[in-house]
Amino acid sequence: MKKIKLILLPIFAILFFLSANTTFAQQPPCPPLPDCPNDPWQTGFIDIQDPCVPTCTLRVFYCYRVACGQYADFHVSGIMYLNPSCGLGLTGGCPYDMIWNAALKAVINENKWNIVIPPCPAQSQIIWRLSVNQCWGSWQLPDGRRYDVPCNLQAQCWRQYRACFNGTTTELELISTGSGLPIDCDEFTPLPPVTGATPLEPCNQICY
């Protein structure tokens, strides 16, 4: 009987640890659909190396869809620093546009959209539309990790790309950029990602 208890206790401890940490990986909400209302968002996340600090791993949460058969949409909805010692946040560290592009390339390589990427120098006919919210804030999770999330879901910046595959990875060609109306990020409060998270930084404008 003692042996059974000794075996069960570690199992319960592992299950508790896993269940506790899955709450920290809560998927942030997707924004309202900009167009093509019959093509809903799907959600996912991907772990990538920080483009500026390769020893740090980022978990990028995203929403994606094929819109009207013309666009492959990719919306970055949250960035978690998996190591508590990583993440200088909105006022330092790796520029966010580098993180967005690295995440988009990684997800294109996974082919979430089931779209054939032509070999370079040819360019894809479909257009990738990357979007992010203009205002973001930072939280510290109960286990010490940093989690950056949007402050609201309405105001967004976007970029449009065509893509090709160079034999090793995806190359992106920027074809246009845009943003929503001018916005005062001080008017918003970061959305808490989980119960027990504590605020680290107020809302900052990260794209224009």
Domain positions in the chain: 2-205
Token duo for residue 120: 């370079």
Determine the pLDDT at residue 19: 36
- Mean pLDDT over the full length of the chain: 81
Determine the pLDDT at residue 18: 35
Rounded to two decimals, what is the model's pTM? 0.81
Contact 150, 77 (CB under 8 A): yes
Amino acid letter at 71? Y
pLDDT for 11 beyond 80: no
pLDDT for 88 beyond 90: no
Average pLDDT over residues 150-171: 87
Using CA of residue 131, residue 137, residue 138, residue 141, what is the dihedral sign? negative
Determine the pLDDT at residue 12: 37
Which residues lie closer than 8 Å to 157 by C-beta, 6 or more apart?
Answer: 131, 132, 133, 134, 177, 178, 179, 180, 207, 208
CA angle in degrees (0–180, nearest 5) for 51-55-59: 65
Determine the pLDDT at residue 144: 87
Rounded CA-CA distance 69/108 in Å is 16
Determine the pLDDT at residue 98: 87
Provide the pLDDT confidence category of residue 10 given band limits of 50, 70 and 90.
Answer: very low
pLDDT for 21 beyond 80: no
Long-range residue pairs from 171-174, CB within 8 A, at least 24 positions apart, any chain: 171/120, 172/101, 172/104, 172/105, 172/128, 173/123
Nearest residue to 79 (alpha-carbon basis) of 13, 141, 8, 155: 141
Provide the pLDDT confidence category of residue 207 given band limits of 50, 70 and 90.
Answer: confident
Q: Which helix (H) or strand (E) holds 149?
A: strand 146-150
Provide the pLDDT confidence category of residue 190 given band limits of 50, 70 and 90.
Answer: confident
Determine the pLDDT at residue 28: 87
Higher pLDDT, 88 or 32: 32
Rounded CA-CA distance 180/119 in Å is 34
Determine the pLDDT at residue 208: 65
